[in-house]
């Protein structure tokens, strides 16, 4: 039979290629909507027990009911480190997959409960603290959702002003937080390898996916542009979730970064992709880790030694 475009497309990786996840547990932050919901739905369908880690328990319960399968809902507000600690303190069993999915995007300038710039505080620091507090229970991998926009903004971490008090812009703040996600993954994997752990740290980005994140951007012109783009160019959430699912289910090297294989990594099937030079800098990754420990008061997870 000829190798038609349709035949090649049918061979592209999708959620039906996930392995049997029966008996495995996954925590997904922000699982009640968008990419998080699509990720939860696919993992539950593959047999995993999925924990919806969400701010709003009522919305989380409604989402979990729509997914069906084996699920539970727990409260987690990544913009509140006390909430992160409470979530982690209540965890008492092995955890196969931790998927750091939740995030905020291009907001007007705001602060977390602990006084951090909202995007850096939620997208990076909240997940940094959560991962390290749960890491003693993690048995397989940590997948953190970044963005192709980690290359935008200034393309650096503003170490002397990570809260961007003197240079805030919604785009700069978002780009910094997504760059931080990749540097966090890089340093986490280095530490896991050094400790002899079998746990892997990976990152993924969805390309251009139509989610509710874009509706909260600060600039009305950007919102309008994204609204049109969502209709004409973007993938749906199920397609946008595929890189995360690929990172969660495939045998990939530690610190791997997964994104769509199409033009500009905006859409397509999941594949290994590159990252910016800044996102590959081990010195910046170490420096960010040290700063994140200082800001959150949460130390290297395997040093907690509950399990490994």
The catalytic site residues sit at: 174
| Helical segments of the chain, H only | 5-11, 34-45, 57-67, 81-89, 118-119, 127-134, 170-194, 220-232, 237-240, 242-249, 282-296
Cα 296 from Cα 137, distance rounded (Å):
20
Q: What is the dihedral of CA 119, 123, 126, 128, to 10 degrees?
A: -130
What phi and psi, each to the nearest 5 degrees, are found at residue 250?
Answer: -100, 160
Half-sphere exposure (Cβ direction) of 54: Cα atoms closer than 13 Å: 23
The packing angle between helices 34-45 and 242-249, to 10°, is 40
For residue 151, give every residue at least 6 positions away whose Cβ sits within 8 Å of its Cβ, in sequence order, or none: 175, 276
The pair phi, psi for residue 275, each rounded to 5°, is: -140, 170
DSSP state letter for 185: H
Q: How far is Cα 219 from Cα 74, in angstroms, rounded to an integer?
A: 33
């Amino acid at each position: 039979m000829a190798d038609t475009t349709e035949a090649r497309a049918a061979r592209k990786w999708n959620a039906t290629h996930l392995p049997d996840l029966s008996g495995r547990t996954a925590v997904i932050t922000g699982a009640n909507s968008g990419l998080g919901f699509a990720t939860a739905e696919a993992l539950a369908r593959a047999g995993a027990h999925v924990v919806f880690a969400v701010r709003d328990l009522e919305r989380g319960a409604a989402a979990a009911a729509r997914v069906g399968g084996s699920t539970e809902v727990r409260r987690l507000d990544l913009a509140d480190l006390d909430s992160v600690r409470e979530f982690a303190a209540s965890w008492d069993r092995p955890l196969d997959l931790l998927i750091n999915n939740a995030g905020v995007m291009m907001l007007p300038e705001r602060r977390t409960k602990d006084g951090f710039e909202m995007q850096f505080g939620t997208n990076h620091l909240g997940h940094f603290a959560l991962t390290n507090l749960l890491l003693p229970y993690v048995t397989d991998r940590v997948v953190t959702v970044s963005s192709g926009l980690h290359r935008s903004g200034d393309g650096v971490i503003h170490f002397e002003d990570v809260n961007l008090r003197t240079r805030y812009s919604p785009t700069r703040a978002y780009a910094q937080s997504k760059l931080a996600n990749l540097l966090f993954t890089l340093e986490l994997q280095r530490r896991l390898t050094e400790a002899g752990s079998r746990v892997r740290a990976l990152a993924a980005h969805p390309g251009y996916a139509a989610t509710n994140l874009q509706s909260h951007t600060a600039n009305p012109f950007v919102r309008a542009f994204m609204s049109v783009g969502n209709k004409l160019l973007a993938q749906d959430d199920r397609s946008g979730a595929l890189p995360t699912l690929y990172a969660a289910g495939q045998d990939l090297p530690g610190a791997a970064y997964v994104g769509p294989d199409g033009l500009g990594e905006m859409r397509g099937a999941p594949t290994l992709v590159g990252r910016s030079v800044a996102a590959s800098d081990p010195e910046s990754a170490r420096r960010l880790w040290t700063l994140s420990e200082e800001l959150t008061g949460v130390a290297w997870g395997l040093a907690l030694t509950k399990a490994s």
